[in-house]
Amino acid sequence: MVAAPLDDAIARFLAHLRDQRRYSPATVRNYARTLERLRATVAAAGVTRWREVRAEQIQAFVAAAHRAGLAPGTLRDMLSAVRSFYRHLARAGEAAANPALGVRAPKAPRKLPQVLDVDEVAALLEFPADDADAIRDRALFELLYSSGLRVAELTALCWRDLDLDEGLVRVTGKGRKTRIVPVGSQARAALAALAAQDRPGVDDPLVRGRLGRPLSPAAVRRRLKRRAKDQGVWKRVYPHLLRHSCASHVLESSGDLRAVQELLGHADIGTTQIYTHLDFQHLARVYDAAHPRAKRRKA
């Protein structure tokens, strides 16, 4: 019975995420898992109301998860969930302060995303569209690369979201935020071929299998992996690799970080800045290969 107020507050918050914020089921499950772990921790310490939790208890909670082997990125996500929970409690008058605000997760080394170079993208995408499956695959993969889409964004598209005449697609991303992004000429041509083949209605899903049902993200991943193998691209190829490659190539050519942020739908430009590190790596490779002093130093 002691834990009932703690449980009730969590249940109301999860309902808010699900019904008001429209978070995905997977995200709601992650929040629930974190808050249940926190509830068990503070209840064991005798806490009966969320307003009684102190910053040092949140810090101890994170430290225990770290000792259990959870990665720094996971710990940051857990802290973000706790902070969001306390903001919700504050709005409801159930907490006066947010004890997670001053708590920091351990820093993780920044892992740069892998990308395909332009020649590898060409090798992957320029396969003959000479049957129904190939026409469909070509359209899907060209759009992923052209517009930097997440695979879940791709599989959620309907034909009404596309304007092939203007070369635009309306995408619903994380947090149900909508953005309009360009579609390149190669992707437009591939999508026009797919439309001529399938003759879809405006409300039909863009990504369909042989029986007309929408493809799942997992099915798109399998198709892309199989096509990469057939094309002789021996890197590990997956849909997000095309998104990374799109962002890297646009930034490399334009230098416009803000435009890349808008293309990808990142809420925080800090997320987009990782591609500047990739751009600098490319510059370093070109320099090492071309600069006389660099070559002499290597010799």
Is the same domain home to 152 and 198? Answer: yes
Is the same domain home to 41 and 122? Answer: no
Q: Using a CB cutoff of 8 Å and minimum separation of 24, what contacts does 88-96 make?
A: 88/12, 88/13, 88/16, 89/9, 89/13, 89/50, 89/51, 92/12, 94/9, 94/49, 94/50, 94/51, 95/50, 95/51, 96/51
Which of 88, 136, 138, 150 is catalytic? The answer is: 150
- Per-residue pLDDT at 284: 57
- The answer to whether position 37 is within a domain reads yes
Is the same domain home to 139 and 275? Answer: yes
Would residue 221 show up in a list of annotated catalytic residues for this protein?
Answer: no
**What pLDDT digit, counting tens, does each position of 131-157 carry?**
989 999 999 999 999 999 999 999 999
Is the same domain home to 66 and 200? Answer: no
Is the same domain home to 282 and 166? Answer: yes
**What CATH number did the domain enclosing 224 receive?**
1.10.443.10
CA torsion through residues 173, 177, 180, 181, sign:
negative
Q: Using a CB cutoff of 8 Å and minimum separation of 24, what contacts does 259-268 make?
A: 262/179, 262/181, 263/147, 263/148, 263/181, 263/182, 264/148, 265/171, 265/173, 265/174, 265/177, 265/179, 267/174, 267/175, 267/177
User: Looking at per-residue confidence, does 209 or 249 come out higher?
Assistant: 249
Separation of first and last alpha carbons in the chain: 74
Is the same domain home to 139 and 279? Answer: yes
Coil, strand or helix at 178: strand
| Spatial CA neighbour of 282 closest among 120, 109, 117, 123 | 117
The pair of structure tokens assigned to 241 is 């690799």
99-108, 163-172, 272-281: range with highest mean pLDDT:
163-172
Which of 88, 188, 227, 243 is catalytic? The answer is: 243
Residues in the chain: 299
User: Which residue, 91, 109, 144, sits at the end of a domain?
Assistant: 91
- Per-residue pLDDT at 80: 93
Residues 6+ apart with CB under 8 A from 100: 55, 58, 79, 82, 83, 86
Is the same domain home to 122 and 184? Answer: yes
Which of 16, 221, 266, 282 is catalytic? The answer is: 266
Per-chain mean pLDDT for the chain: 86
- Per-residue pLDDT at 282: 56
Would residue 249 show up in a list of annotated catalytic residues for this protein?
Answer: no
Is the same domain home to 30 and 169? Answer: no
Is the same domain home to 81 and 216? Answer: no
- Per-residue pLDDT at 96: 87
- The answer to whether position 298 is within a domain reads no
- The answer to whether position 299 is within a domain reads no
Q: How far apart are CA 73 and CA 40, in angstroms?
A: 22
**What CATH number did the domain enclosing 57 receive?**
1.10.150
**What pLDDT digit, counting tens, does each position of 186-215 carry?**
999 999 999 999 888 899 999 887 777 788
Which 8-state DSSP code applies to residue 205? B
Which of 83, 170, 179, 240 is catalytic? The answer is: 240
User: Looking at per-residue confidence, does 195 or 1 come out higher?
Assistant: 195
Is the same domain home to 135 and 244? Answer: yes
Q: Which residue has the tokens 């309306």?
A: 170
Would residue 150 show up in a list of annotated catalytic residues for this protein?
Answer: yes
What is the domain range of residue 198? Answer: 118-288
Would residue 275 show up in a list of annotated catalytic residues for this protein?
Answer: yes
Of 73-82, 222-231, 267-276, least confident by mean pLDDT is 267-276
- The answer to whether position 260 is within a domain reads yes
Which of 31, 86, 145, 275 is catalytic? The answer is: 275
**What pLDDT digit, counting tens, does each position of 209-240 carry?**
777 778 899 999 999 999 999 999 988 999 99
Q: How far apart are CA 144 and CA 167, in angstroms?
A: 14
- The answer to whether position 215 is within a domain reads yes
Quick one: which H or E segment has residue 129? none
Confidence of residue 2 (pLDDT cuts 50, 70, 90): very low
- Per-residue pLDDT at 109: 66
User: Which residue, 39, 73, 91, sits at the end of a domain?
Assistant: 91
Residues 6+ apart with CB under 8 A from 109: none
Is the same domain home to 190 and 256? Answer: yes
- The answer to whether position 111 is within a domain reads no
Confidence of residue 1 (pLDDT cuts 50, 70, 90): very low
- Per-residue pLDDT at 296: 45
- The answer to whether position 241 is within a domain reads yes
Domains contained in the chain, number: 2
Which of 174, 221, 225, 282 is catalytic? The answer is: 174
Would residue 33 show up in a list of annotated catalytic residues for this protein?
Answer: no
- The answer to whether position 253 is within a domain reads yes
- Per-residue pLDDT at 290: 58
Is the same domain home to 123 and 86? Answer: no
Mean pLDDT for 259-275 is 81
Would residue 174 show up in a list of annotated catalytic residues for this protein?
Answer: yes
